[in-house]
Structure 1
């Protein structure tokens, strides 16, 4: 018996199904665009290295629209991109800072850019993260570090207390990976400065090599400043334009996207 039929010899009305007018297929909420936001650099090798990371993320997130943008030096600036027709019209976005710690760019600049598009979120920076310690460990070995040697971790520097704490946390993670003492030093903005940390290490440990782990995303101004301090061993930044981006960095960006979108 169908649901619309009444039993024979019965005056009871059969139940009826009510259907609202068909309004067409409802579109699922689209995935937000991913905007990978880096600082920007005048260094051709640095910009190529960052671009390679963005392209690798786009491959890992097949089907998601991925853009690259900058807070300084290069274009498009993130605030210009958010207002441009390059973005999917009406779609939300997730801003992923390609920055290693908290600071003015990660908090104020990206927050202001996110406000230009409804529903846009800002993810956490890339660090601190244990997988970044693994990348720095490899870079140190490639540079000639000998296990057992103490290390100075060189950060770009920030006046943001949260960012300073992020660097200290990253140094603890690196010390755990290397199983040696790791001292934090800064190339700008914060103390101790890298050159002072190196001078202290040389005066208090004569005859021992000075080793610096670069906690920098890519080649550029800060990497050049670290090299001018002339440590005995200096590791390369996390990204190298001549190599494929480390899987660890790609995974962090992808995970930041999923965490931000809760998908």
Structure 2
């Protein structure tokens, strides 16, 4: 540890299992960092908000760790606003969790667990965003997965943007008799992941979740940000 308090920042979900998965990620990250706990803040749906947790720290240096798979509105707008609202003046923010080759490797593992085999088609399913920077991040993530699988992984969206996942699956059905699997570019279970199971694919990979490689990635991001925060204060 570097004397900076880690705070995990997640989107929030009404799914009980989704909240549990974020909790599992926070517990695993605490163990990786060697601390008693890593509190979790949410930018939507649930509380506490990041500003709430930052105020509780009483200006103890803090590192916010966004568990977002792309750098969209939440990273560029919500997180900075929450820091400003808190009045905390010693806060560092790590980059968004994705895109990253580590996530691509986890997604490949999840696909294999779902029954995907070389020769099967893959659809890269993301929640979607109106932010062009987030969509760019998603395309980069899909390219990373496609390179690993040595097969195209076209992007499709669950909620915001086109093409929609179900439409891409239907197009595949019309042009091929081969199997098609969905690579879920989601961190945790929730309504979006549930929709993937209703899209007509032969299999749906589990969300990325609290995979040990993801935990190590978050820990590495924390250490880098905390060192920079300490150096800046020296």
TM-score by length of 1: 0.82
Question: What is residue 232 of structure 2 aligned with on the other side?
Answer: none
Give the number of the structure whose residues are more often helix, by fraction: 2
Q: Which runs of 5+ in 1 are unaligned?
A: 1-29, 240-244
Deviation at 1:223, TM superposition (A): 0.3
C-alpha distance in structure 2 between counterparts of 1:164 and 1:219, whole Å: 21
C-alpha distance in structure 2 between counterparts of 1:136 and 1:171, whole Å: 10
Deviation at 1:109, TM superposition (A): 0.5
Query: Which of the numbers 140, 162, 166 marks the counterpart of 1:191?
Result: 162
Deviation at 1:66, TM superposition (A): 2.4
Q: Which runs of 5+ in 2 are unaligned?
A: 229-234
Question: What is residue 223 of structure 1 aligned with on the other side?
Answer: 193
Deviation at 1:64, TM superposition (A): 7.6
1:169-204: per-residue Cα shift (whole Å, max 9, x none)?
111110111111111111121121112211211112
Question: What is residue 11 of structure 1 aligned with on the other side?
Answer: none
RMSD (Å), alpha carbons: 1.5
Question: What is residue 5 of structure 1 aligned with on the other side?
Answer: none
Post-superposition, which runs of at least 4 consecutive aligned residues in structure 1 deviate over 6 A? none
C-alpha distance in structure 2 between counterparts of 1:52 and 1:75, whole Å: 17
Question: What is residue 135 of structure 1 aligned with on the other side?
Answer: 106
C-alpha distance in structure 2 between counterparts of 1:228 and 1:39, whole Å: 23
Deviation at 1:67, TM superposition (A): 1.5
Q: How many residues align?
A: 225
Larger Rg: 1
Question: What is residue 90 of structure 1 aligned with on the other side?
Answer: 59
1:111 lines up with 2:76 in the alignment: no
Question: What is residue 131 of structure 2 aligned with on the other side?
Answer: 160
Task: Check whether the contact 1:33–1:65 (CA below 8 A) recurs between aligned residues.
Answer: no
Q: Which has the higher contact order (CA 8 A, sep 6+)?
A: 2
1:120 lines up with 2:126 in the alignment: no
Which range moves more in the overlay, 130-139 or 72-81? 72-81
Question: What is residue 204 of structure 2 aligned with on the other side?
Answer: 234
